[in-house]
Structure 1
Amino acid sequence: MARTIAEIQNEILEEKKKQASLNGLTESKAAIWKLWINIVATAIWIHEKIVEKNALISRPHTLNWYREQALNFHYGAPLDPDSSNEMSLIWKDGSYQFDTTNLDEKQIEDSKIIKHCAVSEIDLETVLKRNKKIEEIEEIEEIFSDYFHNKVGVVFIKVATVKEDKISRIDVPNELFAFKEYIAKIKDAGNQVHITSDQGDNLKLSLNVYIDPLSIFINPKDIEYYQSKISNKPLTPEEQYELDNYKFDSRNGSLILNNNTVFPVLDAIKNHLKNIEFNGAFVKTYLVDAIQKAQGVKIPILSKVETAWAKNPNDKVDPIFKDATKIEYFIPNAGYFDMDTLQVEVNYIPYTFYRDKQ
């Protein structure tokens, strides 16, 4: 913050006292040297105010700055500062800000529709290094071609809201449009910004879980079929058909002491997925660790992982799943998984190794 003229004058006077050669100056109020101190102090004050203002205006905008601005977006605030609306976007202290003077805390919070945001970009060096592995880039035209083709210099913003305590895409007409207009208003000149808000990715998991039969319910009639599903033994067409159409007991996998209403494995999976930060990575090892801590679980084995980008809600075509079992971690395209479409298949096997060794 710039110093006041009086503060600058006092600092000059303090420095004067340290100079013995200046002790002979007259202390008259009309002394010419006091006038010069005032002139110099005023000039310094004007310079500091200019520097301060330029610093505010030229403040570099990082990726984190874009994220903060997105989370601070107020839906319903006009971009016109002369609007009669109670809340508007105004230019203040070198940046655009929402004027929420006449709103209470609930009104302010309700207008913030962006609850989750992730910002990223692709750097040119990464693209050039990748291409140099194939052949050395010599022509400047090739560099610019890669620059634009790979969307280098583009700021990618993923946003989502919360509905019924679940992450959800922004699907209300005009909300995403208004947010894009807001970003276009405040972004740095020349920057390209790509904004998306998609339906959560689909996830399909297959697991073989060895459980404590004293804690977790499993129908004895179903054990043979679970073991058949995880064994590599070839099956006849009739046996395969019977296995594919077998109806397992819906209570399998539930805690016995909780009247078969709590399913430790399924609950651990859902809680883990919900706690992954927005645009965070799905890590197979972390999921297995979370299941391992569930009550009654002895050995959890994640046998298959499949994922698919969400389709348009009006699209009747089923999503195309891709096998991601060999990938240790990946980030969902939408930044999160759709918990309503989560598919989990668990083969429950009684943990009886202590008897097998005898």
Structure 2
Amino acid sequence: MARTIAEIQNQILEEKGKQATLNGLTDNQSKTAIWRLWINIVATAIWIHEKIVEKNALISRPHTLNWYREQALSFVYGQDLIWKEGSYKFDTQGLSETEISEKKVVKHCAVSEVDLSSVINPDTSVNQIFSDYFHNQVGVVFIKVATESGGYISPVDLNVLSSFKEYIARIKDAGNQVIVSSLPGDVLKLHLNVFVDPLTIYIKPQDIKYYKELMMGNPIPEDYEFDPQNGALISKPSVKPVEKAIEDYLKNIEFNGAFVKSFLVDTIQKAEGVKIPVLKSVKTVSSLGLGNLAQQGNSAARNSEPLSEAQQLESILQDASKIEYFIPKAGYFDLKSKYFEIKVNYVPYTFYRDNRIE
């Protein structure tokens, strides 16, 4: 950041004090002394020069992936984009800081590109290299954006997204290809076996044997209903520590960050009343894949084998149980989706009396 005129003047005065030949310049209290006026003129000239250099450095710096992210988060919806001092800026004259903040609807952004070396084999033919180059969209900048609604990450409204794409098209580097997306969150289904302290967490006694059957992979009556209070704190029935720990972990994953199984298990392990958490199943699918539900339903109907929505969803879910970590296609999971599921088999931790369940 450029120095202020006062800072430059003070540095000149300090240097003057080090020069014995300038001791004759007195009248330090007089602001009209000719030598003090010259210091002010020189300091002003240096300040102007530093501002110009600073601005040129800002404009001419390479547009990195982080630069695109900064520009995305600076998007002000509904305001004119003007060219000013060598760069595009939003005209926010007359708006308060609060109003500007409210108009910055892009709250989350991730920018990436395909690494050339990861998709091209140097031993292949020239034609194949060019084919791989274009097929894998090397040289394309991918921008994922999202906003927030009710404390949850959510996709940007289509009207806003259209305006945002036009904004990016104007400010991007000439010749660069940019793909902007804002998708509904990915679907996530988690199944766990959790051993808990029966003195802390409530489990209906009649439900325990059925939980154990499920843990061993055995079927139970289809119409059997578990007590909805299972898993709640005895001291505070409104709180379910396992479910709360899972949702807190998912909400705190950075946008376009990785879902890491071991991190999730570590988080659950710290929850009140939890003894041993075991993550048995992780299934997910991009929101783009949900469009196949209706298509599969129609296909099944033509074959006289109608499938329920749950069955259709199960058929398109991808099993990620053996993957240590992965990044959701949309950059986040939709925790408000009707398809989001946390299924927990609760068993009291009483190994000192019961045989261990494999």
**TM-score under structure 1 length normalisation:** 0.76
Residue 239 of structure 2 aligns to a residue in which SS? coil
| Paired amino acid for 1:349 | V
User: Alpha-carbon deviations, 1:162-209, whole Å to 9, x = none?
Assistant: 1111110013x4211100000000000010000000000000000000
What is the aligned counterpart of 1:205 among 186, 190, 202? Answer: 190
The match for 1:334 is 330
What is the aligned counterpart of 1:254 among 205, 227, 232? Answer: 232
Report if the CA contact (8 A) 1:225-1:243 is conserved.
no
| Paired amino acid for 1:255 | L
The match for 2:271 is 294
User: Alpha-carbon deviations, 1:95-142, whole Å to 9, x = none?
Assistant: 2111223111121011111000000001211212xx35xxx1242x32
The match for 1:179 is 164
| Paired amino acid for 1:346 | V
Aligned pairs (5 A) from 1:242-281: 242-258=220-236, 260-281=237-258
The match for 2:308 is none
Deviates more, 1:157-166 or 1:99-108: 99-108
1:92 is displaced (CA, Å) by 2.5
Greater than 3 Å deviation, 4+ residue runs: 45-57, 311-316
Report if the CA contact (8 A) 1:265-1:297 is conserved.
yes
The match for 2:154 is 168
Unmatched 5+ residue regions in structure 1?
19-44, 78-87
| Paired amino acid for 2:352 | Y
Q: Confirm or deny that 1:125 pairs with 2:102.
A: no
1:89 is displaced (CA, Å) by 1.6
Larger Rg: 1
Q: Confirm or deny that 1:105 pairs with 2:97.
A: yes
The match for 1:76 is 78
| Paired amino acid for 2:190 | L
The match for 2:301 is none
Percent identity over the alignment? 60
Tell me, in whole angstroms, the C-alpha distance in 2 between the residues paired with 1:347 and 1:337.
23
The match for 1:114 is 106
Could you say if the C-alpha distance between residues 46 and 143 of structure 1 is closer, same or farther in structure 2, counting changes exceeding 3 Å?
farther
The match for 1:225 is 210
The match for 1:153 is 139
| Paired amino acid for 1:70 | A
User: Alpha-carbon deviations, 1:197-236, whole Å to 9, x = none?
Assistant: 000000000000000000000011111111111115xx5x
Residue 144 of structure 1 aligns to a residue in which SS? helix
Unmatched 5+ residue regions in structure 2?
20-46, 295-311
Tell me, in whole angstroms, the C-alpha distance in 2 between the residues paired with 1:288 and 1:192.
40
Tell me, in whole angstroms, the C-alpha distance in 2 between the residues paired with 1:307 and 1:207.
15
Report if the CA contact (8 A) 1:308-1:321 is conserved.
yes
Residue 355 of structure 1 aligns to a residue in which SS? coil
| Paired amino acid for 1:251 | Q
1:266 is displaced (CA, Å) by 0.6
Residue 208 of structure 2 aligns to a residue in which SS? helix
| Paired amino acid for 1:256 | I
Could you say if the C-alpha distance between residues 184 and 216 of structure 1 is closer, same or farther in structure 2, counting changes exceeding 3 Å?
same
| Paired amino acid for 1:207 | L
Q: Confirm or deny that 1:304 pairs with 2:281.
A: yes
Residue 185 of structure 1 aligns to a residue in which SS? helix
Residue 268 of structure 1 aligns to a residue in which SS? helix
Residue 155 of structure 1 aligns to a residue in which SS? strand
| Paired amino acid for 1:278 | F
| Paired amino acid for 1:187 | K
The match for 1:137 is 124
**TM-score under structure 2 length normalisation:** 0.76
Tell me, in whole angstroms, the C-alpha distance in 2 between the residues paired with 1:147 and 1:186.
25
Tell me, in whole angstroms, the C-alpha distance in 2 between the residues paired with 1:170 and 1:48.
40
The match for 1:22 is none
Could you say if the C-alpha distance between residues 215 and 151 of structure 1 is closer, same or farther in structure 2, counting changes exceeding 3 Å?
same
Aligned pairs (5 A) from 1:48-67: 55-67=57-69
Could you say if the C-alpha distance between residues 216 and 51 of structure 1 is closer, same or farther in structure 2, counting changes exceeding 3 Å?
closer
Tell me, in whole angstroms, the C-alpha distance in 1 between the residues paired with 2:48 and 2:194.
73
Tell me, in whole angstroms, the C-alpha distance in 1 between the residues paired with 2:97 and 2:48.
38
The match for 2:25 is none
The match for 2:299 is none
